[in-house]
Amino acid sequence: MKTIKTDYKYLIFVQAPNPGRKTSVWECRNKKSQTVLGHVKWYGAWRQYCYFPMVQAVYNAGCLDDIADFIRQLGVQHGQTRQKATI
Protein backbone atom coordinates (compact mmCIF):
# COMPACT_ATOMS: atom_id res chain seq x y z
CA MET A 1 0.00 0.00 0.00
CA LYS A 2 1.32 3.45 -0.93
CA THR A 3 2.41 5.77 1.88
CA ILE A 4 0.12 8.76 2.38
CA LYS A 5 1.69 12.20 2.16
CA THR A 6 1.03 14.00 5.46
CA ASP A 7 3.50 16.88 5.35
CA TYR A 8 2.66 19.94 3.24
CA LYS A 9 4.01 23.49 3.02
CA TYR A 10 1.85 24.98 5.80
CA LEU A 11 -0.19 22.01 7.02
CA ILE A 12 0.57 18.65 8.56
CA PHE A 13 -1.83 15.75 9.10
CA VAL A 14 -1.45 13.59 12.21
CA GLN A 15 -3.43 10.43 12.83
CA ALA A 16 -5.60 10.82 15.92
CA PRO A 17 -6.54 8.04 18.33
CA ASN A 18 -9.83 6.50 17.22
CA PRO A 19 -10.84 3.64 19.51
CA GLY A 20 -13.93 1.82 18.32
CA ARG A 21 -13.92 3.37 14.81
CA LYS A 22 -13.58 1.38 11.61
CA THR A 23 -11.99 4.29 9.74
CA SER A 24 -9.11 6.59 10.57
CA VAL A 25 -9.36 10.12 11.97
CA TRP A 26 -6.68 12.68 11.15
CA GLU A 27 -5.93 16.06 12.72
CA CYS A 28 -5.10 18.88 10.32
CA ARG A 29 -2.55 21.11 12.06
CA ASN A 30 -0.81 24.37 11.32
CA LYS A 31 2.75 23.27 10.62
CA LYS A 32 4.38 26.16 12.48
CA SER A 33 2.22 26.39 15.64
CA GLN A 34 0.87 22.80 15.69
CA THR A 35 -2.63 24.26 16.31
CA VAL A 36 -5.36 21.78 15.34
CA LEU A 37 -7.41 23.42 12.59
CA GLY A 38 -9.80 20.56 11.90
CA HIS A 39 -10.21 16.85 11.38
CA VAL A 40 -10.40 14.64 8.32
CA LYS A 41 -12.68 11.69 9.02
CA TRP A 42 -15.18 9.40 7.37
CA TYR A 43 -18.59 10.95 6.73
CA GLY A 44 -21.00 8.05 6.41
CA ALA A 45 -23.81 10.02 4.79
CA TRP A 46 -21.57 10.78 1.80
CA ARG A 47 -19.51 7.55 2.05
CA GLN A 48 -16.22 9.42 1.84
CA TYR A 49 -13.62 11.24 3.90
CA CYS A 50 -14.40 14.92 4.55
CA TYR A 51 -12.79 17.88 6.31
CA PHE A 52 -14.42 19.11 9.52
CA PRO A 53 -13.04 22.53 10.59
CA MET A 54 -12.62 23.12 14.33
CA VAL A 55 -11.64 26.78 14.25
CA GLN A 56 -12.55 29.72 12.10
CA ALA A 57 -9.56 30.05 9.81
CA VAL A 58 -8.64 31.54 6.47
CA TYR A 59 -7.29 29.16 3.82
CA ASN A 60 -5.73 30.12 0.51
CA ALA A 61 -6.08 28.02 -2.64
CA GLY A 62 -2.83 26.19 -1.89
CA CYS A 63 -3.97 25.09 1.57
CA LEU A 64 -7.34 23.98 0.20
CA ASP A 65 -5.54 22.01 -2.52
CA ASP A 66 -3.41 20.32 0.16
CA ILE A 67 -6.49 19.35 2.20
CA ALA A 68 -8.19 18.03 -0.95
CA ASP A 69 -5.05 16.08 -1.92
CA PHE A 70 -4.90 14.46 1.52
CA ILE A 71 -8.60 13.51 1.35
CA ARG A 72 -8.12 12.00 -2.12
CA GLN A 73 -5.22 9.89 -0.82
CA LEU A 74 -7.33 8.58 2.07
CA GLY A 75 -10.12 7.74 -0.36
CA VAL A 76 -7.77 5.75 -2.57
CA GLN A 77 -6.34 3.92 0.44
CA HIS A 78 -9.84 3.22 1.76
CA GLY A 79 -10.85 1.74 -1.60
CA GLN A 80 -7.75 -0.47 -1.68
CA THR A 81 -8.40 -1.65 1.88
CA ARG A 82 -12.03 -2.48 1.08
CA GLN A 83 -11.02 -4.40 -2.05
CA LYS A 84 -8.54 -6.53 -0.09
CA ALA A 85 -11.16 -7.26 2.56
CA THR A 86 -13.63 -8.62 -0.01
CA ILE A 87 -11.11 -10.85 -1.80
DSSP track, 46-73: TTEEEEEE-S-----HHHHHHHHHHHHH
**How confident is the model over 35-67, as pLDDT tens digits?**
999 999 999 999 999 999 999 999 999 999 999
CA distances from 49 to 32, 62, 77, 87 (A): 25, 19, 11, 23
**pLDDT for residue 5 is more than 70:** yes
pTM value surpassing 0.75:
yes
Residue 18 pLDDT class (50, 70, 90 cuts): confident
Tell me what percent of the residues of the chain surpass a pLDDT of 70.
90
